[in-house]
């Protein structure tokens, strides 16, 4: 979604080794190999809507003002040592850590530690449409665009070298949570100034410089990314010298690499592989509840899916229990809401759509839809919210065939999926959302607000001013009870209009070799590699 020119990212090939081979003994001794299936359009998570840039790289390359504790789900300090909330949630003042160093890379040597100028630059670039950096590399910031932050942020100013104040036009009880997501990295203004002087502004998002535990060393598109540790990391030097992110194999290929030791960690293994993973004494597994949702989005701007009664009739044909058995193998909960059950705003009165093919067929006939043919866009690779999207699509196709609806599956990848979904030619899309925030606003506004259509994260193209007003009312109070009431109302609206059909909220799965230690799996879909190490004494 960043609309980057793909060839610009390929310019990083000068950093790459000539070819990718299986991990050598050097890698085994000095680092580890993390296998994930995905594509990369930008190294800067500001400009991404998910995927490798957010789920894997962000926690290694960058830090942000605030973090979320993976165990308590509470906000905690990161680059902001402390913060104050003023004006009933309309003003936020952040006091920065001292002596935090930016990474020293082949393309940039910082002359000073992080200060307020860096924080102001990082957010002003996204929120100020007149900022000279706003339109560099496309000017699209999908996550924050969907939240309309460019319209809601009144000012971002430096109070002193270690203090930043952000004023909003209105109180927003979710604001701090959004700043704690990996979509809000802190960039180096000094690096940006250097690139401006050289006329190479586009490199900011392709040759990254952050304050994170690892920095970019090599990149080969579609094959691998090599990270080396940041020796000046402010939280302490990472335990391993390097981490290689293998992008080159999917499905059973990644599993094979884990079994042979070419991969040390397998992100998002297919649930169907669990028995193999559990039975191998050389492997370990971690499962945690995840803040994610898989759903079927109806294109509500395209007839006949623009009619709620048609969407409800189609939903009756979906056998969700079979999805649980055939796709997730007991590693997910059937979803009744766009919010996962782990969310504090989940509406316990929400009900899963019943499975009644006869009723579905009868309703479609009554609506005059006897020869309906729909196009279903689906990602071709495994996702945090669905380990087997193509197989899921085939099950949905079979379900709808039982009620006389023909479905053509259109598998797509990366930016091609985004182009397909925003072209308005699709009827349905199988998609999902995983967030590193425990605030319900991180689900509702990016996925279903009117603004999210323009930011290209609302795949249903559904716009309800009443729904948006309800979400806004939920942000105007710091009282939890008031927010819960508004979010319950929002969930009832969605159940009635059904722009999307929630399918599943999955557990976060991760498989790894027995000697890998210190990799904490977060429910929010990301984890720092800083504490990872090998324990050769561990017996398989």
Q: How confident is the model at residue 251 (pLDDT cuts 50, 70, 90)?
A: low
What are 501-537's pLDDT values in tens digits? 999 998 888 899 999 999 987 766 678 999 999 987 7
Position 415 pLDDT exceeds 60: no
Position 417 pLDDT exceeds 70: no
Does residue 174 or residue 425 have the better pLDDT?
Answer: 174
**The CATH homologous superfamily of the domain defined by 292-507:** Dipeptide-binding Protein; Domain 3 (3.10.105.10)
Q: Which helix (H) or strand (E) holds 275?
A: helix 274-279
Q: How confident is the model at residue 454 (pLDDT cuts 50, 70, 90)?
A: confident
Strand partners for 306 = none
Q: How many whole angstroms separate alpha carbon 265 and alpha carbon 54?
A: 18
Instruction: Assess contact for 199 and 464: CB atoms under 8 A.
Output: no
Q: How many whole angstroms separate alpha carbon 406 and alpha carbon 391?
A: 17
Does residue 271 or residue 394 have the better pLDDT?
Answer: 394
Q: How many whole angstroms separate alpha carbon 326 and alpha carbon 322?
A: 6
Burial (CB count within 10 angstroms: exposed 0-12, middle 13-18, buried 19+), residue 466: exposed
> Measured on CA atoms in the order 97, 98, 101, 102, is the torsion positive or negative?
positive
Instruction: Please state the φ and ψ torsions of residue 219, each to the nearest 5 degrees.
Output: -145, 130
Instruction: Assess contact for 326 and 398: CB atoms under 8 A.
Output: no
What are 140-150's pLDDT values in tens digits? 998 898 888 99
pTM: 0.82
Q: How many whole angstroms separate alpha carbon 294 and alpha carbon 383?
A: 9
Position 23 pLDDT exceeds 90: no
Which tokens go with 476? 């105007």
Average pLDDT over residues 348-375: 94
Least confident of 9-13, 209-213, 424-428, 438-442: 9-13
What are 292-319's pLDDT values in tens digits? 999 999 999 999 999 999 999 999 999 9
Helix axes 308-315, 357-366, angle to 10 degrees: 150
Predicted local distance difference test score (pLDDT) of residue 146: 85
Predicted local distance difference test score (pLDDT) of residue 20: 35
Q: Is 428 left (phi over 0), alpha (psi -120 to 50) or beta?
A: beta
The owner of tokens 């000095």 is 30
Q: How confident is the model at residue 230 (pLDDT cuts 50, 70, 90)?
A: very high
Q: How confident is the model at residue 252 (pLDDT cuts 50, 70, 90)?
A: low
Q: In the 8-state DSSP scheme, what is residue 350?
A: -
Average pLDDT over residues 352-360: 94
Instruction: Please state the φ and ψ torsions of residue 444, each to the nearest 5 degrees.
Output: -65, -55
What are 56-96's pLDDT values in tens digits? 999 999 999 999 887 777 899 999 999 999 999 999 999 99
Q: How many whole angstroms separate alpha carbon 126 and alpha carbon 150?
A: 7
Strand partners for 433 = 293
Q: How confident is the model at residue 12 (pLDDT cuts 50, 70, 90)?
A: very low
Predicted local distance difference test score (pLDDT) of residue 524: 67
Predicted local distance difference test score (pLDDT) of residue 2: 32
Query: Which CATH class, in words, describes the domain spanning 6-248?
Result: alpha beta
Average pLDDT over residues 230-242: 97
**Could you state, in order of their start, the residue ranges of all structural domains in the chain?**
6-248, 292-507
What are 214-227's pLDDT values in tens digits? 999 999 998 999 99
Q: How many whole angstroms separate alpha carbon 118 and alpha carbon 110?
A: 12
Average pLDDT over residues 404-419: 78
Mean pLDDT, the chain, integer: 89
What are 362-407's pLDDT values in tens digits? 999 999 998 999 999 998 887 878 888 999 999 999 999 999 999 9
Q: How many whole angstroms separate alpha carbon 152 and alpha carbon 173?
A: 13
């Amino acid at each position: 979604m960043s609309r980057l020119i793909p060839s610009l990212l390929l310019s990083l090939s000068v950093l790459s080794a000539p070819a990718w081979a299986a991990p050598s003994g050097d890698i085994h001794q000095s680092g580890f190999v993390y296998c994930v299936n995905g594509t990369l359009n930008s190294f800067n998570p500001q400009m991404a809507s998910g995927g490798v840039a957010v789920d894997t790289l962000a926690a290694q390359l960058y830090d942000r003002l605030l973090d979320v504790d993976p165990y308590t789900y509470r906000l905690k300090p990161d680059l902001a040592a402390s913060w104050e909330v003023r004006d009933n949630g309309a003003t936020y003042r952040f006091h920065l850590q001292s002596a935090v160093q930016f990474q020293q890379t082949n393309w940039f040597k910082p002359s000073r530690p992080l200060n307020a100028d860096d924080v102001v630059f990082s957010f002003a670039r996204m929120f100020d449409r007149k900022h000279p950096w706003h339109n560099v590399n496309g000017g699209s910031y999908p996550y924050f665009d969907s939240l309309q932050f460019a319209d809601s942020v009144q000012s971002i100013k430096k109070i002193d070298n270690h203090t930043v104040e952000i004023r909003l036009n209105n109180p927003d009880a979710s604001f701090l949570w959004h700043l704690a997501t990996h979509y809000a990295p802190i960039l180096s203004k000094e690096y940006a100034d250097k690139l401006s002087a050289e006329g190479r502004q586009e490199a900011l998002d392709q040759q990254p410089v952050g304050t994170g535990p690892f920095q970019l060393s090599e990149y080969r598109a579609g094959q691998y990314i090599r990270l080396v540790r940041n020796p000046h990391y402010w939280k302490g030097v990472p335990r391993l010298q390097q981490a290689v992110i293998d992008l080159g194999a999917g499905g059973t290929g990644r599993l094979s690499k884990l079994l042979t030791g070419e991969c040390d960690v397998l992100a998002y293994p297919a649930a169907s592989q669990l028995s193999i993973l559990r039975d191998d004494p050389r492997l370990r597994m971690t499962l945690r509840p995840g803040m994610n949702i898989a759903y079927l989005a109806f294109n509500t701007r395209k007839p006949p899916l623009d009619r709620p009664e048609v969407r409800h009739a189609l939903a009756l044909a979906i056998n969700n229990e079979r999805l649980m058995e055939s796709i997730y193998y007991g590693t997910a909960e059937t979803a009744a809401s766009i919010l996962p059950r782990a969310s504090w705003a989940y509406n316990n009165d929400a009900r899963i759509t019943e499975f009644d093919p006869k009723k579905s067929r009868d309703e479609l006939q009554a609506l005059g839809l006897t020869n309906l043919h729909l196009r279903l866009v689906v990602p071709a690779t495994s996702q945090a919210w669905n380990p087997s999207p193509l197989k899921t699509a085939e099950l949905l196709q079979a379900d709808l065939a039982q009620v006389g609806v023909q479905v053509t599956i259109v598998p797509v990848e990366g930016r091609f999926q985004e182009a397909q979904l925003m072209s308005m030619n699709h009827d349905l899309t199988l998609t999902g959302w995983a967030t590193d925030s425990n605030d319900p606003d991180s689900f509702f506004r990016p996925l279903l607000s009117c603004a999210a259509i323009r930011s290209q994260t609302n795949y249903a193209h559904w716009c309800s001013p009443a729904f948006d007003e309800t979400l806004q009312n939920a942000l105007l109070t710091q009282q939890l009870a008031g927010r819960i009431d508004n979010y319950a109302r929002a969930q009832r609206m969605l159940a009635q209009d059904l722009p999307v059909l929630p399918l599943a909220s999955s557990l976060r799965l991760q498989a790894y070799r027995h000697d890998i230690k210190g990799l904490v799996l977060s429910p929010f879909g990301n984890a720092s590699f800083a504490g990872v190490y090998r324990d050769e004494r561990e017996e398989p």
